[in-house]
A and B are shown apart, each in its own frame.
Chain A
């Protein structure tokens, strides 16, 4: 079933505040096998000009996944998650995510289209501090494979 083009532009309420912890950043970096001290040692991060340890460029997926689930779970969107694969992902960093950030995620449906029986759903998630400072914009394109 094709997605409704009328969904484009639909925005969802902001998430609860997510506080970025040093340990979570270190855990994520370890999962990528990345020993970079900027992810673990505040002094090393400060030497690069950051106020605290920063997160890897793809860390924002932790927040955008949660915000994106609100879209996937919207009954008006109505997609079968077992048929979903990740098509594309983009991160635009206004500044690095860093330990101590208190972030709020707001999801918006940017585009829907159907190609060869597959539905494509592009969701934008804007991450900002609770004070409204933009931190990162993520765009996720999910492909909902048509039933064979």
Chain B
């Protein structure tokens, strides 16, 4: 793998679409890896008590999946120098084998100085936008 070159992209360049599935098992794995053991990510009872429609994915798991679309495209995960997300809607993860789908699309929105580009992401689950603002600044070669 090598880092994508800034000369190879223009404003409007689209990233390959990435579709992931998130199951309850993925939430358990992410809780352990991240240290975020908030009960709303594993207990239907508690999620319901605090007014959620069900167990929801960690926002940072969704954000991490979205970042993956950028790092895979850039060819070097170290190329991401700035990453910003706003959580607009929770990803409800049903207790079944299919889980929830998270789709990530992205496009180069601006060419910055020093070979850096801004990528704007559209992240949806079941057709709903789950991140209202997701942007990465990527330093290309």
Chain A 23-40 interface 0/1 with B at a Cβ cutoff of 8 Å (1 = within): 010011011111011110
A92-B87 contact given A36-B71, A56-B64, A61-B60, CB 8 Å threshold: no
- CB <8 Å contact, B78 and A50: yes
Asked whether, in the complex, the Cβ of A30 is within 8 Å of the Cβ of B87, the reply is no
User: Count the B residues whose beta carbon is within 8 Å of the partner chain — how many?
Assistant: 38
Task: Give the residues in chain B near A34, CB-CB below 8 Å.
Answer: 64, 68, 71-72
For residue A133, give the distance in angstroms from its CB to the closest CB of chain B: 16
Q: Which of A74-109 contact B (CB under 8 A)?
A: 82-83, 85-93, 95-96
In the complex the two chains form, what is the Cα distance from A32 to B104 in whole Å?
14
Complex alpha-carbon distance, A90 and B135, angstroms: 9
- Asked whether, in the complex, the Cβ of A96 is within 8 Å of the Cβ of B20, the reply is no
CB-nearest residue of chain A to B81: A93
Whether, in the assembled complex, B17 has its beta carbon less than 8 Å from a beta carbon of chain A, the answer is no
User: Could you tell me if B78 and A48 are in contact, using CB atoms closer than 8 angstroms?
Assistant: yes
Contacts of B71 in A (CB 8 A): 34, 36, 56-57
Contact (A44, B30) CB under 8 Å given A88-B85, A90-B82: no
Cross-chain contact B85 with A89 (CB below 8 angstroms): yes
Interface of A toward B, CB cutoff 8 Å:
24, 27-28, 30-34, 36-39, 44, 47-50, 54-58, 61-62, 65-66, 82-83, 85-93, 95-96
Q: Can you list 19 A-B pairs, Cβ within 8 angstroms, ordered by A?
A: A32-B64, A32-B65, A33-B20, A38-B76, A47-B1, A56-B64, A56-B68, A57-B136, A58-B67, A62-B35, A65-B36, A82-B50, A85-B59, A87-B87, A88-B87, A90-B85, A91-B84, A93-B80, A93-B82
